[in-house]
Amino acid sequence: MLEQFAPAKVNLTLHVTGQSANGYHLLDSLVMFASAGDHLTFEPADELSLSVDGPESGAVPTDGNSVLSAAHLIDPQKSAHIHLTKVLPVASGIGGGTADAAAAYRGLLKLWGLPDAVPNAETFAHIAKLGADVPICLFSQTARMSGIGEKIEFMPELPALDAVLINPRVEVSTPAVFKSISSKNNASMGTIPSNFIDQVEFITWLQHQRNDMQDAAVSIAPVIEHVLAALSATQNCQLARMSGSGATCFGVFPSAETARNAALQISRDYPHWWVKSCTLGA
């Protein structure tokens, strides 16, 4: 059976550098993909349909889903049955629906015998019709994203990171967070060094970067500050920051074992939060 993995997208940095004439915001973001994510399978069928299961399937619509929009974007005449196993929380800043749409696009091209997408400006502009974050998710590789999300520069040389993802079970509206940002003209990341000697040097550089949506998201959902504090309070946490427009936050740890231990401790202390240890950029 044809399968695709839809990894969580983590914005290690997210600088808001301006606003374009159509109201969309200009971003400068370093994105890595996680070993945690949703799973999709694809089968030939007489109609286009979607079924969903998995621990996070409760809030997922089977009509009007981003997965079906991806099918329509390729060819509204074609059919398939798609099954989605939902592991990532919805509307959570780690690209759940976005990653699913990108994975559906990849899977359906294969199922329908069409050529794989090639990473060029035309592809990114086309797939951006499904959402500003879909282009970065199409190839699931560490990349710098700019423009409103359609400019992608792959950065394969960056060290992988061990991390913990936490969602406090609060849905945050992306447009509402964008509206609440106090300053929309912030500095970009500048040049990202390509020769970090090790993980520690990379993390030190990350500590000097920002998520410019974080304060605005905290003002809407104060529990995000609580999540960041819980991560920072664990032993060995080297960096705690929000991803995307929230509410999911990530913590970076020196090893897979320290990340797993932190995830266990936080799951025990906050049993209603969604907590996952994972590797980023591997």
**Rounded CA separation 136/211 (Å):** 17
Instruction: Give 136 or 275: the residue with its C-beta nearer to ligand C5P.
Output: 136
* Sequence-ordered list of residues with C-beta below 8 angstroms from that of 124, at least 6 positions apart, any chain: 135, 138, 150, 151, 152
Using DSSP, state whether 110 is helix, strand or coil. Answer: helix
Residues that bind ligand C5P (CB under 6 A): 24-25, 27, 131-133, 148-149, 174-175, 178
**Rounded CA separation 262/114 (Å):** 44
Q: State in angstroms the smallest separation of the CB of 148 from ligand C5P.
A: 4
* Sequence-ordered list of residues with C-beta below 8 angstroms from that of 211, at least 6 positions apart, any chain: 11, 13, 14, 241, 242, 243
Report phi then psi at 182, rounded to 5: -75, -40
Q: State in angstroms the smallest separation of the CB of 103 from ligand C5P.
A: 16
Of residues 139, 53, 67, 125, the one with CA closest to residue 96: 67
**Rounded CA separation 244/109 (Å):** 28
Q: State in angstroms the smallest separation of the CB of 173 from ligand C5P.
A: 8
Instruction: Give 24 or 270: the residue with its C-beta nearer to ligand C5P.
Output: 24
Instruction: Give 175 or 190: the residue with its C-beta nearer to ligand C5P.
Output: 175
Instruction: Give 128 or 227: the residue with its C-beta nearer to ligand C5P.
Output: 128
Of residues 101, 24, 18, 89, the one with CA closest to residue 249: 89
* Sequence-ordered list of residues with C-beta below 8 angstroms from that of 109, at least 6 positions apart, any chain: 74, 115, 116, 117
**Rounded CA separation 165/274 (Å):** 8
Length of the chain: 282
* Sequence-ordered list of residues with C-beta below 8 angstroms from that of 78, at least 6 positions apart, any chain: 48, 71, 108, 112
Is residue 28 flagged as an active site residue? Answer: no
Instruction: Give 146 or 277: the residue with its C-beta nearer to ligand C5P.
Output: 146
Instruction: Give 80 or 213: the residue with its C-beta nearer to ligand C5P.
Output: 213
Is residue 86 flagged as an active site residue? Answer: no
Q: State in angstroms the smallest separation of the CB of 132 from ligand C5P.
A: 4
Q: State in angstroms the smallest separation of the CB of 24 from ligand C5P.
A: 4
Report phi then psi at 150, rounded to 5: -95, -10
Q: State in angstroms the smallest separation of the CB of 230 from ligand C5P.
A: 27
Q: Which of 133, 151, 162, 276 is catalytic?
A: 133
Catalytic residues: 9, 133
